Structure 1
Amino acid sequence: MVRTYKRKTNRSDISEENIMAAVEDVLQGRLSIRTAATTYNLTKSTLGKRLKKIKRRRSENPGRDHDAPDRQDSDDPISFASPFQSKYSSQQVFTSAQEEQLAKYFIQSSKMNYGLTYTQAQKLAYDYAKKLNVKYPPSWNNSLSARKDWMKSFMKRYPILSLRKAENTSMARVSAFNETNVKEFFDNLQRALEKYKITPERIYNLDETGVATVLDVPKVIAKTGTKQVGQAVSAERGELVTFCAIISGVGNTIPPVYVFPRAKFKDVFMKAAPTGSLGLANKSGSGWMTSILFLDLIKHIQKHTKCTKFKTYLKQAFNDWLVNHPGRRVSIYEIAQLTEKAYQKAFTLANICSGFRKTGIVPFDRGIFKEDDFVAASVTDTRDPVATDALSTSVLRHQKKIDWKKKKIAKQKKKQVKHNLFDNVEQQANDSDDSGEKVSYAHDESDCLSEMDRENSEEEFMQDVEAIIDRESGMPNIKVGDFLLVKYCTKKTQKYYEGEVEEIVDGKYFMNFLRKTGTGFTLPQVPDKDLIELEQVELKLPKPRTSETTARSSSIKRFQVDYRAYNVN
């Protein structure tokens, strides 16, 4: 079948509106067939064929209301004569309305990051035709899918659709980019902008990309029909150099940073690099950015504080260099020189400002993302993280642990503490009565008070622990001056630190941490402070006890807490 046929004459380009008007006049008896054909610039045979189709359909459906439209998207009272808008589509499998539903489905699937390939779309069309019980070519039954001819014609009828190369998108990114998270981001951004009076020139964006000595080659001119076209590159696999670009909200840039896969940095690495660029070396030989190197990058930003089509320009620069240096290979010594050309072209004022504007950061625009932008997250919708149940998974887990401890302590108080204490007191009273001597209970009473004191401290501890979350409001019940046990997670272990809440900022807690000594905890000479989240709060501790004996002992704080379950530092 010819898919790209072009009509050579326009003699069959007849207005469908004229045909419908002429048919209506003839059916209403206002004009004869010949007069109607002449009036509407139609041939008598064309008008006659259309009238025969209408009469045949009326005879096949005698009980039908012929004054009602046959299709929902048609306002013409005689549109039931043909289920299609044009006589040229009389052999279509689906009506225009049905095809529009298919097109909308393809677009919606793409927005949800589950787009369909041609093969999947053809199978869907076959299932759709079977479900609607419409007439379709018998060849569809052989492959259980529509044919390529139908798919190509469908794509031509809907130019809004096109075959695109999809970009890999992780499930974590799909589920995280939802309306709730975006709203929370802009709320935090707005509070930070208002509180610290941050202006656009103080907003920076940093992004890193890997630049290998071997990149994909651009398209080149070759002979038509050639099955394989080669283009010289430096090697099968190249070495990786990390390129870090830094831009500000007003369109300014900070010279880039390079991380080379070498144990020692050499000045020759930065040959012809952008002026002011920083070169670093990764001792492991990987070329990746590390936490230690990132500190040097921060210092670089401080020094210079006064994305893009980068990869496209970089591919062109690589290919130009190889063409101009036949037989030579690109090494890490040419990376800085090649990226300099792409950097100047890609990081322009317009591109930088557009990047900040598209995200709604500069200028600030919390409505930059519309409802359709969050369609992909609907596939993995979970419970709203800002629901009335404000307890995090971590807090809920520890609440169960608290309930278990509370029950255990209650049993101990009933079976051991009270029972043993009163038994001892009663036994001593009986002994004194038998001997006739007056016995002093000072020692025993002190023991009793000591045990009861421990009970009260345990009860007080459990009450303070439960007070992390208010039962009625579901909100944290932590105030300035409280002591908390805070959790920090590393790659393999979890470490816990005790500290005092100095300030509460936007639901976060500014902590002044203590240091562990032999008998308790004390404030270090150099203050250790940090801002933590509610999820890091392991326990709310009871009020500390101190000894007033000496100045040194009075600075040591002790908590009535069993630390055996925690790796306290």
Structure 2
Amino acid sequence: MRTYKRKTTRCSYTTEDLSNAAKAVNDEGKSVNAAAKEFGIKRMTLTRFSKILNEGGDSSMGYATPRRVFSPTQEESLKNYLLQMASIFYGYSPKDVRRLAYECAAKFSIEIPPSWTANKMAGKEWLTMFLKRNPELSIRKPEPTSLGRATSFNAQNVKVFFEKLAEVMDRYGFTAADIWNVDETGVSSVLKPNKIVAAKGKRNVGAMTSGERGTNVTVVTAVSALGNAVPPMFVFPRKQFKTHFLNGGPPKCIGAGNASGWVTDEEFYQFMQHFIKHVKPSMERPVLLVLDNHSSHLNVETLNLAKENGVVMLSFPPHCSHKLQPLDVSVFGPFKKYCAAAQDAWLRNNPGKTLTIYDIPKIVADSLPVAQTSINIVNGFRKTGIFPYNANIFGEDEFSPSFVTDRPEQETIEPEKDHPEQAVMSSTELNPTPSASTSQAEPKPSPSKKENETIDLKQLKLTEERGQLQYTPEKNALEEQQNKTTKKVKKPKKNMDKKRKKSVCKKILQSSDESGDDDYSCLICCEGYSESLPGESWIQCQACREWAHTKCVPGAGVTFVCVNCNSDNDD
């Protein structure tokens, strides 16, 4: 009966119409036939209704409302709560909603069916009818979203980004042709196949792929707010790149290779040269390049190259590129779908063959132009509010996931007027938390050894001095830190004789004592403590207080005296 649909128009009038017709018969003296025709009511229905009213009976009509556990007001509150939890990415599953309904009914002592008490949750029938009574709700499959993205995309971070974007655009007067976005994405040799037409009711439907697990090839591309695009760059998971890797690829594309297949400092520096070659920026006609704060974008050589050629780099706040980056918003989504369709076509045209990473350039050449159209690119810049500039492009509902970490905004420190070089020209000073400050009055000190992994574009500022782009001390600190991390520690060879080992160990110990370094070396094999394996035991000399591997001094007891100290005692 819950799916019954009315087949006739009988009794389509309301109780109000019936009451007015009965009033016309009883009070105004109209005949039953005249009143029935005037209000469109059946004669016998009006007669029975008038008789019931005259006898003082109940004037209600139609079927009674089915018994409901919750009142309309209670269901409205439950609906609003479920919508709010879904908006902050902590939505309830259907079974959780049924448990919540039971807990609410038990809390407020509402009469419930016995099956609710037995199962400690509401029934499936109740959930079905609850969803029908509230069409704003439906059962949806959520998209996985990391906690970093959910909390970092907040009103404060987005506000600071658009403030920096407005400052840069006002200073340089960038047009649509001067605003570019660069990003990379991975294309696997095994993608999820598209939907197919198959037999109805069959549980398992398969589609042919070239393997169980694919190999990724990174594709780097750049687009402008005018709808133009730079030929892509391919990064293959090969230590040595060969030109034949690009056979069948897009026109004027370039390639590189490394062991991982992902973009590193060298590959992004190469792409920056490729970008400058095609866009042709200059100090007289600079361009704006918006990009995420990936570690490969932090290479000092790349930043110097951009500065020398008039490329102003503006980074997105951390974990916000899925909403603010035009390529992520409007290009890469359809690009992956077209790549999957192109791979299906390739496998169908080459039966029995395996698609390798060397066939991906041909796949990208067929898919990228279809996805990277001028309309898609322009729409991406428009939906992110970058161009045309729109700082209010995102509503309050877009920031609902950051509700769990909202905190009051801290007061900002305005830079002194006598030091205009301290004006922040990039959004990279953002802190992932919503309480980030928007400017600084003093340069940050050089980061310590433990902070190596936390340096990113957040510590980089762009300024303008005498018509040229200059960098603040944060860039010098970044350069100094990168120089420290690139230094290699030379290890002594392990195949030297014992006498040479002793002399080398003495030199190492003397140098370590002079420098005050806390890293000790083994007296026998000269291996540093930081290089030892997990769980490897060490023993200390009771005389000189130096250390050695337990395996290097077999037979050593509780009190251990090294060979050097024993030789000194013998002399």
Given the two structures, how large is their TM-score scaled by the length of structure 1?
A: 0.60
Which among 359, 381, 387 is matched to residue 411 of structure 2? 387
Q: Which residue does the alignment assign to 2:363?
A: 338
Tell me the SS of whatever aligns to 1:309: helix
Q: Provide the secondary structure at the position in 1 that maps to 2:233.
A: strand
1:531 corresponds in structure 2 to 472
Partner of 1:210: 186
Please show how residues 267-416 of structure 1 align to structure 2 within 5 Å: 267-282=243-258, 284=259, 286-305=260-279, 307=331, 308-384=333-409, 386-387=410-411
State whether structure 2 residue 511 is matched by structure 1 residue 486.
Answer: no
1:146 pairs with 104, 119, 122, which one? 122
Give the drift of 1:345. 1.4
Equivalent-residue separation in structure 2 for 1:196 and 1:88 (angstroms): 71
1:354 corresponds to which letter in structure 2?
N
Supply the AA of the counterpart residue of 2:166.
Q
Matches within 5 A, 1:109-148: 109-131=85-107, 133-148=109-124
> Alpha-carbon deviation of 1:271?
1.9
In the aligned structure 1, how far is the partner of 2:383 from the partner of 2:220? 21
Pairwise CA distance, 1:281: 0.6
Letter in structure 2 aligned against 1:217: P
How many angstroms apart in 2 are the aligned matches of 1:225 and 1:290? 48
1:22, 1:37 within 8 Å by CA — same for their partners in 2?
no
CA 1:52/1:382 → structure 2, altered by over 3 Å: closer, same or farther?
farther
Of 9, 13, 20, which aligns to 2:16?
20
- Tell me, in whole angstroms, the C-alpha distance in 2 between the residues paired with 1:57 and 1:254: 82
CA distance in 2 between partners of 1:368 and 1:485 (Å): 33
Paired residues for 1:166-315 under 5 Å: 166-282=142-258, 284=259, 286-305=260-279, 307=331, 308-315=333-340
Cα 1:42–1:154 shift into 2, 3 Å: farther
CA distance in 1, matches of 2:334, 2:52: 61
CA distance in 1, matches of 2:209, 2:159: 46
Q: Find the residue that maps to 2:357 and give its secondary structure.
A: coil
Question: 2:557 — aligned with what?
Answer: none
Q: Secondary structure at the match of 1:204?
A: strand
- The answer (yes or no) to whether the contact 1:509–1:532 under 8 Å persists in 2 is no
- Which is greater in Rg? 1
Partner of 1:7: 5
Whole-angstrom distance in 2 between the partners of 1:184 and 1:491: 28
**Cα pair 2:414 2:441 within 8 Å, conserved:** no
Separation in 2 of the partners of 1:102 and 1:51? Answer: 43
How many angstroms apart in 2 are the aligned matches of 1:51 and 1:352?
73
Report the equivalent of 1:90.
66
Aligned-residue offset at 1:133:
4.8
Whichever residue aligns with residue 359 of structure 1, its letter is T
Query: Secondary structure of the residue that 1:334 maps to in structure 2?
Result: helix
- Distance in 2 separating the partners of 1:387 and 1:48: 76
> Residue 358 of structure 2: SS of its match in structure 1?
coil
Asked if 1 retains the 8 angstrom alpha-carbon contact of 2:21 and 2:39, the reply is no
The CA distance in 2 between the partners of 1:300 and 1:51, in whole Å, is 92
The 8 Å contact of residues 249 and 362 in structure 1, kept in 2 or not, is answered as: yes
Higher relative contact order (CA 8 A, sep 6+): 2
Q: How much has 1:262 moved relative to structure 2?
A: 0.4
| Aligned-pair CA distance for 1:132 | 5.2
Distance in 2, Cα, partners of 1:19 & 1:194? 66
Q: Are the aligned partners of 1:208 and 1:242 in contact in 2 as well (CA < 8 Å)?
A: yes
Is this contact kept in 2: 1:488–1:494, CA < 8 A? no
Which amino acid letter does the alignment assign opposite residue 398 of structure 2? D
CA distance in 1, matches of 2:22, 2:66: 22
Q: Distance in 1 between matches of 2:109 and 2:148?
A: 40
Alignment partner, residue 520 of structure 1 = none
CA distance in 1, matches of 2:52, 2:96: 40
Letter in 2 for 1:373: E
CA contact (8 A) 1:262 1:287 kept: yes
What is the distance in 1 between the residues matched to 2:115 and 2:411? Answer: 54
Q: Distance in 2 between matches of 1:200 and 1:110?
A: 37
Give distance in 1, aligned partners of 2:200 and 2:440.
70
Distance change >3 Å, CA 22–CA 138, structure 1 → 2: farther
Which one-letter code corresponds to 1:14 in the other structure?
Answer: S
| 8 Å Cα contact 2:221/2:231 also seen in 1 | yes
Tell me how large the CA RMSD over aligned residues is.
Answer: 4.4
Structure 1 stretch displaced more, 358-367 or 241-250: 241-250
CA deviations over 1:107-142 (Å, ceiling 9, x no partner): 222211112221122222333444555554433223
8 Å CA contact 1:249, 1:356 repeated in 2:
yes
CA distance in 2: counterparts of 1:373 and 1:145, whole angstroms: 32
Q: Which residue of 1 aligns with 2:75?
A: 99
The residue type equivalent to 1:22 in the other structure is: L
Q: State the distance in 1 between where 2:252 and 2:225 align.
A: 20
Q: Using the alignment, how far apart are the partners of 2:406 and 2:383 within structure 1?
A: 25
Counterpart Cα distance in 2 of 1:95 and 1:14: 26
Q: Closer, same or farther in 2 for the Cα pair 1:200/1:56, shift >3 Å?
A: farther
CA distance in 1, matches of 2:56, 2:122: 30
Unaligned segments of structure 2, at least 5 residues: 281-330, 416-437, 479-515, 518-571
Structure 1 contact 510–532 (Cα < 8 Å) conserved: no
SS at 2:263 equivalent: coil
Question: Could you tell me whether the CA contact under 8 Å between 2:86 and 2:92 is conserved in 1?
Answer: yes
- Check conservation: 1:487, 1:494, Cα contact below 8 A: no
**In 2, are the aligned partners of 1:243 and 1:259 still within 8 Å (CA)?**
yes
Alpha-carbon separation, structure 2, partners of 1:116 and 1:91 = 25
Deviates more, 1:196-205 or 1:330-339: 196-205
Q: What amino acid is the match of 1:150?
A: W
Task: Choose which of 139, 145, 159 in structure 2 pairs with 1:163.
Answer: 139
For residue 328 of structure 1, report the CA deviation from its aligned partner. Answer: 1.1
Distance 1:111-1:495 versus aligned 2 partners, 3 A rule? closer
> Is the contact made by 2:248 and 2:362 (CA closer than 8 Å) also made in structure 1?
yes
Whether contact under 8 Å (1:212, 1:241) holds in the other structure is yes
Q: TM-score, normalised by structure 2?
A: 0.60
1:299 Cα offset (Å): 0.9
Q: 2:413–2:440: 8 Å Cα contact kept in structure 1? A: no
